[in-house]
């Protein structure tokens, strides 16, 4: 038992082994990278219009995208205009919100934009907003 006791006045150097700590941090990093979900805002490639009046939407919302060729997408699924109210109602219920943000391509005709906004209102959206890029109008 005496061989394990230190004599008074003898100081052993303290060894700090950081290799297990580095391993744990590395595994945590891998875990967080693998469990992160990267979500695209829309399923369609869009070129948004610019507006000096653009502001950030403060609450959770359902995104409805309109491509230049008239394709409409909600939650990554392409739809026809007639299917839009039902899809918007389901998405609003799933996200527990009443806000829809329509994300149009800058080449979308105003008639198509208004028809989509009306369909979103018919689907139960209390607020229908149009997305734009902040900055000077082009």
Tell me the domain boundaries of the chain: 50-134
Q: Which CATH class is domain 50-134?
A: alpha beta
How far is residue 120's CA from residue 66's CA, in Å, rounded to a whole number?
Answer: 12
Query: How big is the CA angle at 66 (ends 92 and 64), to the nearest 5 degrees?
Result: 10
Question: 66 or 54, which is more confident?
Answer: 66
Q: What pLDDT is recorded for position 21? A: 86
- Asked whether residue 112 carries a pLDDT value surpassing 70, the answer given is yes
Tell whether the torsion through CA atoms of 71, 76, 82 and 84 is positive or negative. Answer: negative
On whether the CB atoms of residues 117 and 126 are closer than 8 A, the answer is no
pTM value > 0.85: no
50: β partners: 133
Q: Which two tokens stand for residue 113?
A: 């934009």
The pLDDT tens digits for 60-101 are 889 999 988 889 999 888 999 999 999 999 999 998 989 999
The pLDDT tens digits for 10-50 are 677 777 788 888 889 998 999 888 887 665 555 566 666 66
Q: Which two tokens stand for residue 115?
A: 């028809």
């Amino acid at each position: 038992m005496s061989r394990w006791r230190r004599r008074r006045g003898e100081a052993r150097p303290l060894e700090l082994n950081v290799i297990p700590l580095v391993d744990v941090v590395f595994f945590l990093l891998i875990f967080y990278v693998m469990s992160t979900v990267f979500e695209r805002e829309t399923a369609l490639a869009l070129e948004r219009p610019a507006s000096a009046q653009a502001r950030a939407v403060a609450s959770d919302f359902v995104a409805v995208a309109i491509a230049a060729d008239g394709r409409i997408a909600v939650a990554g699924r392409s739809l026809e205009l007639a299917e839009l109210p039902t899809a918007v109602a389901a998405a609003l219920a799933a996200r527990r919100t009443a806000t829809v943000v329509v994300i149009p391509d800058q080449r979308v005709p105003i008639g198509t934009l208004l028809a989509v906004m009306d369909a979103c209102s018919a689907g139960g959206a209390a607020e229908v907003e149009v997305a734009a890029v902040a900055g000077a109008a082009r």
